[in-house]
């Protein structure tokens, strides 16, 4: 039997006052946020605004996975880290930030790279996963693992002056009974190692990651509180140079190797840790 969550404290009532008077959230929505566990892959450019707004919103439990340390060049866009955090693990820096912003949020840090050995165990703890990693191999691994674990995924990516995000729920069907698409329906083949330039080569506009990461946090809150229409089957594209948003629709592909007519991926054994 589900237990009734404890009422919000007087401090929480004041902290979340603007949510509580919002018709789309209110008390039930705030309780849903407090009851949720969200796994965030990466505490960098996209992870920073995601962590900021989810902690501020009162997500009950945040699990953050990152094996990197803070460098001076991160600070132009990774706004949860400070100059005095340079050289520290990003997870440690992120935990201090969350505790200072909202002590009601339980935060757990995993200071190791997500890979085939730990992906399923991490994802199985979560109600929803957000992937803000900068590695194609990680994106494919996380999306496959979320599909196999039947956990919703919001995945985002940025270029030098553009970004994208989508929501994946391939474990459920749409209103017409058709399978929802997987990440591999949208991007069937993983790019070859080294084929995508790193931001150290192309550059990165710092505020761009704030826009895309904040949109990821917004979609997370909508999913948890069941507000409006999400991005399942839709890829949101953002062109920062010309300030344009476009939405492309995509659907389930019978040729995708994960949930297509002839699936070839049934576990994570095909993935190799990078």
Write out the catalytic residue numbers.
Answer: 199
The DSSP code for 198 is -
CA angle 155–160–162, rounded 5-degree value:
55
Closest CA to 78 of 122, 43, 112, 53: 43
Contact 61, 86 (CB under 8 A): no
d(CA 55, CA 97): 9
Q: Specify the DSSP element, H or E, that contains 186.
A: helix 183-186
Contact 68, 41 (CB under 8 A): no
Beta strand ranges found along 204-256 (DSSP E): 234-239, 244-249
Contact 128, 224 (CB under 8 A): yes
């Amino acid at each position: 039997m589900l237990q009734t969550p404890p009422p919000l404290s007087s401090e929480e009532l004041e902290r979340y006052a603007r949510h509580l008077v919002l018709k789309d959230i209110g008390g039930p929505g705030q309780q849903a946020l407090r009851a949720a566990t969200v796994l965030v892959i990466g505490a960098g450019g996209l992870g920073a605004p995601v962590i900021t707004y989810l902690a501020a919103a009162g997500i009950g439990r945040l699990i953050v996975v990152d094996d990197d340390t803070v460098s001076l060049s991160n600070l132009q866009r990774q706004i949860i880290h400070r100059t005095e955090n340079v050289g520290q693990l990003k997870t440690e820096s992120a935990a201090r930030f969350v505790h200072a912003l909202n002590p009601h949020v339980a935060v757990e840090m995993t200071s190791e790279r997500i890979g085939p050995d730990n992906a399923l165990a991490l994802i199985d703890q979560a109600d929803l996963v957000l992937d803000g990693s900068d590695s194609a191999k990680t994106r494919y691994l996380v999306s496959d693992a979320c599909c196999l674990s039947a956990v919703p995924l919001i995945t985002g990516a940025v270029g030098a002056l553009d970004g994208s995000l989508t929501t994946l729920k391939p474990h459920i069907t749409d209103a017409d009974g058709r399978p929802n698409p997987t990440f591999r329906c949208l991007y069937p083949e993983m790019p070859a190692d080294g084929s995508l330039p790193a931001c150290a080569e192309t550059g990165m506009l710092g505020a761009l990651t704030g826009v895309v990461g904040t949109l990821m946090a917004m979609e997370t809150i909508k999913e948890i509180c069941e507000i409006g229409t999400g991005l399942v089957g839709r890829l949101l594209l953002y062109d920062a140079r010309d300030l344009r948003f476009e939405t492309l629709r995509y659907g389930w592909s019978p040729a995708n190797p994960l949930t297509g007519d002839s699936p070839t991926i049934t576990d994570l054994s095909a993935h190799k840790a990078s």
